[in-house]
A and B are shown apart, each in its own frame.
Chain A
Amino acid sequence: MRNDNASYQDGAFFQRDRAWHPPAFTPEYKTSVLRSPQKALLSLGNTISEMTGPVFGHDMLGPLDNDLIRNYATTGDPIGPRIIVYGRVLDENARPVPGALVEFWQANAGGRYRHKKETYLAAIDPNFGGCGRTITDEEGRYWFRTIKPGAYPWPNGVNDWRPAHIHFSVFGHAFAQRLITQMYFEGDPMIWQCPIVMSIPSREAVETLVAALDRAASLPMDTLAYKFDIVLRGSRATMFENRKEGN
């Protein structure tokens, strides 16, 4: 049952660039102050426990899981600009990650979440639930349809507002790749005024979370499109192999 050392090392993931990600302690984002570990993380070369990951099959998906315009609607379509969000899940070797479960959630067009702990006075939209999911295809592609979420105020600074955003949760092929992040919209000036966005150390890194408006992919008289690629950690295994991952 024992594999030799080399076979494990071959599949190890590149060291995560912690300077690229937000640090744990970002006092401008106040909730992080008491929720941030202060001791050094224990560096752990990948073992089989991190290099493996759960599989999610297309059979778990409902037909409307990637259509937030229709998956909760009862009396009509939700209010707001109709958009398509599409892109690819890639690894750091720029290889597609097929079979990746992508989950997304968001506020409605008025900036209101459907959550019992949400108190913002903007109206609930009876036809908008605000969540969906999909699984990437063989080329790592995904897409979903939704309405563009609104900005909203949040209790941090006295007058802090979140830019319009969509939350993403992504499973790659290994638990070491597990990632939750947020997508922002091209041209939004509020991105650069948000303490959560600014927890990311560099402007260059933030820009990788800003989806590009793609007029060519838009549906005339119907829906605007935004392109948002997501990059998960790469491994030495995917550097050298020719077959597609996940087979």
Chain B
Amino acid sequence: MVQKLGRLKESPSQTAGPYVHIGTNPNFIGIHGLYAADLGSETVPEAVRGERIVVTGRVFDGGGNILKDALIEIWQADADGLYPGRGEHRGAADPAFTGWARQPVDGVTGDFRFETIKPGSAPYFDGRPMAPHITFWIVARGINIGLHTRLYFGDEEEANATDPVLTRIEHRGRVPTLIAARSDDSGQPTYTFDIHLQGDKETVFFDI
């Protein structure tokens, strides 16, 4: 016998279920009077520095069906590549920016939409710059443990080409699953990021 390490085991994940909105977005499903607004749905304040962008997309299952009940959270750096919140020791991020948002997909169309700013570049753990990216976390009925992935920007070809994470993807044909194409047609820079849970176009998900 040896001494015990005394560590605890992480609480096992369970699916967010079909009614996750009751807990996270009660106003979205018509439960009013509890919270003034659904947490994570706030508009990015005027004072936040950076290019205003829209990120939109849909989540598909392995049969090509659009999920109507998924919930998506995003987490990102500010325009200078600094993270708000805890764990950032390189400097102070834009004080007006939370870096975090949460949106349910539309119950009819399945579209999600985030209005945010384009993040700056942050360093990989060895100091090399990572291309600008937004972390995505996806939960839904039938997803037993939340899925982590990243959105990279289609108009950052040069930075993407040397990104320490993207360059680690062995199956090069899967890299495009993480890259959102930019369109300026609507007058507002819009990046489309479709997420495929399964199948030929399966998005690269991370074990972080």
Do A and B originate from a single complex?
A: yes
Q: Give the complex CA separation of A166 and B125 in angstroms.
A: 37
Q: Which of A77-85, A137-145, A213-221, A227-235 has 4 or more CB atoms under 8 Å from chain B?
A: A227-235
Q: Among the listed B13, B22, B165, which residue makes an inter-chain contact with A113, where contact means beta carbons less than 8 Å apart?
A: B22
How many B residues touch the partner, as a band? Answer: 35 or more
Q: Is A17 located at the chain interface by the 8 A CB criterion?
A: yes
A180 and B125: CB pair below 8 A? Answer: no
Q: Give the complex CA separation of A12 and B174 in angstroms.
A: 26
Q: Is B145 located at the chain interface by the 8 A CB criterion?
A: yes
With A104-B23, A131-B23, A233-B10 as known contacts, state yes or no: A35 contacts B39, CB within 8 Å: no
Q: Is B187 located at the chain interface by the 8 A CB criterion?
A: no
Q: Is A36 located at the chain interface by the 8 A CB criterion?
A: yes
B141 and A205: CB pair below 8 A? Answer: no
B85 and A53: CB pair below 8 A? Answer: yes
B10 and A20: CB pair below 8 A? Answer: yes
A181 and B12: CB pair below 8 A? Answer: yes
Residues of B28-43 at the interface with A, using a CB-CB cut-off of 8 Å, are: 29-31, 33-35, 39
Q: Give the complex CA separation of A232 and B10 in angstroms.
A: 5
Report the nearest B residue to A15, measured CB to CB.
B207
Interfacial chain A residues near B161, Cβ < 8 Å: none
A49 and B75: CB pair below 8 A? Answer: yes
Interfacial chain A residues near B106, Cβ < 8 Å: none
Q: Is A24 located at the chain interface by the 8 A CB criterion?
A: yes
A16-42 vs B, CB cutoff 8 Å, 1 = contact: the mask equals: 111011111010010111111111011
Interfacial chain B residues near A199, Cβ < 8 Å: 14-15, 144
Expressed in whole angstroms, the minimum distance between the Cβ of B118 and any Cβ of chain A is: 15
With A169-B24, A232-B10 as known contacts, state yes or no: A35 contacts B140, CB within 8 Å: yes
With A34-B197, A42-B206, A52-B83 as known contacts, state yes or no: A21 contacts B144, CB within 8 Å: yes
Q: Is A45 located at the chain interface by the 8 A CB criterion?
A: yes
Interfacial chain B residues near A54, Cβ < 8 Å: 75, 84-86, 98-100
Expressed in whole angstroms, the minimum distance between the Cβ of B101 and any Cβ of chain A is: 9
A53 and B20: CB pair below 8 A? Answer: no
Interfacial chain B residues near A32, Cβ < 8 Å: 15, 142-144
With A36-B198, A55-B86, A196-B15 as known contacts, state yes or no: A180 contacts B146, CB within 8 Å: yes
Q: Among the listed A43, A103, A118, which residue makes an inter-chain contact with B207, where contact means beta carbons less than 8 Å apart?
A: A43
Q: Give the complex CA separation of A179 and B22 in angstroms.
A: 17
Expressed in whole angstroms, the minimum distance between the Cβ of B139 and any Cβ of chain A is: 6
> Which A residues are within 8 Å of any B CB, using their own CB?
1-5, 7-9, 11-13, 16-18, 20-24, 26, 29, 31-39, 41-56, 60, 62, 65, 71-72, 90-94, 103-105, 113-118, 129-131, 133, 167, 169, 173-176, 178-182, 196-197, 199-200, 205-206, 208-209, 230-234, 246
Task: Given A181-B12, A232-B10, output 13 extra A-B contacts at Cβ < 8 Å.
Answer: A21-B145, A23-B144, A33-B142, A35-B197, A37-B147, A41-B205, A52-B84, A53-B85, A54-B85, A55-B84, A113-B22, A131-B31, A169-B23
6 pairs, CB–CB < 8 Å, chain A vs chain B: A23-B144, A52-B86, A52-B88, A55-B85, A91-B8, A208-B9
